Amino acid sequence: MQQNKWLKFSKTNHHNPIKLFCFPFAGAGAATFTSWQNDVAPHIQVIAVQLPGRENRFSEPPMGKMSELLDVLSQHISPYSAQPWAVFGHSMGATIGYALISRLIETGCNPPQHFFTSAKSPPHCLPSYAPLSHLSDNEFLDTLATRYGADTSTSQRELLELMLPTLRADFGLIESQYNHSTIPLNTDITALYGTQDHAVSEQQMMQWSRYTNQSFDIVEINGPHFYLQSAKQQIMSIINHRL
C-alpha cells in the first residue's frame, strides 16, 4: 500500500484485512500507534492518521477547522469504505473519528464495522469544564496538567511550548464540536474510559450508546486519561475480540 502524508499503513500479509483507522489525542501523531500492528490479530491492519503540525509534518500549520479537516480526510479514507473498516479514536481522536464517520455516511459510504471511542464524551454532552484554547500559555499548560494529567515538568516544558500552536488548534477542533444531534449509526460502538480520568466520566461515556442502533458496550480501563501505553495489551485484546 502506497504511503501518503495523511495515512501511515502498517505492513500486513493478510490479503484483505479489516482496516483500522486510528486517530490520536491532541498534540500527538501517528507514532502513538506505531507498535499496534505487532499486537492486533493478523486480519487487522492498523492505519495511523497523521495530522499536520506534528512529527514529520511539524513544519505544516495545524488545521483549526473541523470542516476543512474532514474534507481532506474524507478524500483519503472514503476509497477504503467499500471494504471492512473500523475506527479507533482517543480523546480528540474520538471527536474527529465520529465526525469523519458521520461525514462519510452522509456522502453514501458504507459505515465502519466498529467504532472504538476512547476517553472522550460524545458531541451532545456539554463539557463540565471551561474551554482552554484561548488561555494564556502558562494557564494552558497548567490546565493540561490538572485536567488531563499531562507531564508539564521542566524537562517537558520546552517541547510543549514548541507544540503550543498545534495543541491550541487541536483543542479548538474539540471545543467547536458540541452538537445536539444524536443520529444513531449502523455501527457497533465500544466506549473506553479511565478510572482516574478527570476529563470524562463513566456516565458521559455511557451516552455514546445513543449513537448506535447496533451493539454498544463500555469498558473500564484502570488508569488516567493517557492510558494508551499503560493499558496497551488490554486495548489490543478489546480490539481483537470485537473485530
What pLDDT, on the 0 to 100 scale, is given for residue 2? 56
Q: How far apart are the first and last CA of the chain?
A: 21
> What cell does 165 get?
500552536
What pLDDT, on the 0 to 100 scale, is given for residue 237? 97
Chain mean pLDDT for the chain = 90
Q: Provide the phi-psi class of 110: left if phi over 0, else alpha when psi is between -120 and 50, else beta.
A: beta
Distance between CA atoms of residues 98 and 218, nearest Å: 16
What pLDDT, on the 0 to 100 scale, is given for residue 25? 93
What is the three-class DSSP state of 197?
coil
Q: What percent of the chain has pLDDT over 90?
A: 66
Distance between CA atoms of residues 27 and 55, nearest Å: 10
Nearest by Cα to 22 from 73, 79, 83, 67: 73
What pLDDT, on the 0 to 100 scale, is given for residue 137? 82
Pick the more confident residue, 166 or 2.
166
Measured in whole angstroms, the distance separating CA 123 from the mean position of its chain's CA atoms is 13
Taking the whole predicted model, whether its pTM rises above 0.85 is answered as yes
| 180 has a pLDDT exceeding 70 | no
pLDDT mean over 75-82 = 95
Residues 120/95, Cβ–Cβ less than 8 Å: yes
Q: What percent of the chain has pLDDT over 70?
A: 94
| 41 has a pLDDT exceeding 80 | yes
Q: How sure is the predictor about 128, in pLDDT bands with cuts at 50, 70 and 90?
A: low
| 136 has a pLDDT exceeding 90 | no
Counting beta carbons within 10 angstroms of the beta carbon of residue 179, is it exposed (0 to 12), middle (13 to 18) or buried (19 or more)? Answer: middle
pLDDT mean over 177-195 = 85
Q: How sure is the predictor about 155, in pLDDT bands with cuts at 50, 70 and 90?
A: low
- Which has the minimum average pLDDT: 80-94, 105-119, 152-166, 194-208? 152-166
Measured in whole angstroms, the distance separating CA 84 from the mean position of its chain's CA atoms is 19
Distance between CA atoms of residues 9 and 51, nearest Å: 14
Pick the more confident residue, 126 or 211.
211
